[in-house]
Amino acid sequence: MSLIIPKDYKQTLTPETTEQAIRMLKNNFQEKLSKALNLRRVTAPLFVLTGTGINDDLNGTERAVRFPIHCMGDRMAEVVHSLAKWKRMKLAAYRIPAGYGLYTDMNAIRGDEDLDNLHSLYVDQWDWERTIRPEDRNLDYLKKTVRSIYTLLKEIEIMVYDCYPHITPSLPDNITFIHSEELLAMYPELEPRDREKEAAKKFGAIFIIGIGAELSNGEKHDGRAPDYDDWSTQNSDGFSGLNGDIVLWNDVLECPFELSSMGIRVDKTALNHQLDVCKCPERKSLEFHKALNEDKLPLSIGGGIGQSRLCMFFLRKAHVGEVQASIWPEEQIEICKKHNIILL
C-alpha cells in the first residue's frame, strides 16, 4: 500500500486533544472487551526465547528483532510478533475454564513492514484468548464472537460522537460475513486486496472467513501461520476455515481497514494437517506444538485488535502516526506535513 493523501484533509482534533481522546478510547474499549468476553487482564512479555515455537511467524517471511542474552551464554531472544501461542499456554497455566479468558497489551516491533498510512514499525494491540469447549469449534460460535466485538465497536463509535459531535458515526448496523472463496467468486478478476476494497465499500463492515487456506484458483487470500488459527477445517457453510479478519470501510482514506485478525485455534488434528500442508512438520518437536499434541493446552478462540488502528479509525485520522509515536521516513513526514497530517 502506497501513501494515501486525502483531498483537503483536516484534523478532527488537535494533537493535544487527540492524546486525551486516545486515552479515553483505550481505557473504555478494553473494559468493554473484558466484560463482553469474560476476560481477565494479564501481563505479557515483550520478547521470548528463540527456538521455542512460541513466537508468531505471521506470514512466515517477517524477520523477528533478535538479540543475545549475555547472562544466558548469549542465548538468543526475539521480540514478539504477536502472542497468539503464548496466550494459549497461559490459559493452560492459569487453568481458565471454558467461557472465560484473558487479554493483554501486546507491543511488537516489525522491522519488515512497508511504512504507510496503516503500517508502522511499532505494533500495539489487545491480544485476547478464551477457552472453549469441543462443541464450540464451529462457525456459529466464531460468528457469535465476532458480533460481540462488533457491538463494542458500535458502542465506541457512539461514545466518540457524544464527546466530539462533529465526528459522526459511519458503521453499518451489522457486520457482513463473507468467506474468502465467496469473495473470489464475487470479484474473480481482482486481486485479494482489491476484493476486500470492493466488499468493504459495499457493506461498510465485513468479516472475511477462511484466511490462510488455498482457494479454488490455487492462491491464498492472504497468508496465515499454520500453528494458531484453524484455516483448514471444513465449516458449516461448505468452505474451509474457522478464522478471519474484521475489515471496516475507512471513508477518510477510502480503503479497506483491517482492525482485527482472529479465529478458533487449531486442535491437534488441524495443527498437524496445516504443518504438513505448509511443509514445516519439523515444528512438531517445538515446545508449544508438543504441548498441543500431548493435550496439555485447552481448545481456544482468540485474536488481536489494533489499539492505534482503533484510535485512528474512530478519531478519523489519515495516518497511524497521528495516534502513535514511531519512526517514519523523512520524506513521508514532510509529505504528510504539507497536507496537514501531523505525525506524533
The catalytic residue among 155, 198, 251, 258 is: 258
Q: Please tell me the pTM assigned to this model.
A: 0.93
On whether the CB atoms of residues 64 and 112 are closer than 8 A, the answer is no
The catalytic residue among 125, 232, 260, 324 is: 125
**Of the listed ranges 176-190, 254-268, 278-292, the one predicted with least confidence:** 278-292
DSSP letter at 24 equals H
**pLDDT value of residue 225:** 87
Separation in Å, CA 273 to CA 87, 212, 311, 331? 22, 13, 38, 45
Q: Note if 125 is an active site residue.
A: yes
User: How confident is the model over 121-135, as pLDDT tens digits?
Assistant: 999 999 999 999 999
pLDDT at 324 over 90: yes
Q: Note if 237 is an active site residue.
A: no
| Helix, coil or strand: residue 343 | coil
pLDDT at 254 over 80: yes
The catalytic residue among 57, 78, 82, 110 is: 110
Q: Note if 285 is an active site residue.
A: no
User: How confident is the model over 67-123, as pLDDT tens digits?
Assistant: 899 999 999 898 888 788 899 999 999 999 999 999 999 998 888 888 899 999 999
Q: Note if 56 is an active site residue.
A: yes
The domain ranges of the chain are 15-338
The catalytic residue among 56, 57, 181, 230 is: 56
Q: Note if 332 is an active site residue.
A: no
User: How confident is the model over 312-323, as pLDDT tens digits?
Assistant: 999 999 999 999
**pLDDT value of residue 113:** 81
The catalytic residue among 127, 227, 245, 322 is: 245
**Of the listed ranges 68-77, 164-173, 180-189, 191-200, the one predicted with least confidence:** 68-77
CATH of domain 15-338: 3.30.930.10
| Residues 245-262, mean pLDDT to the nearest whole number | 96
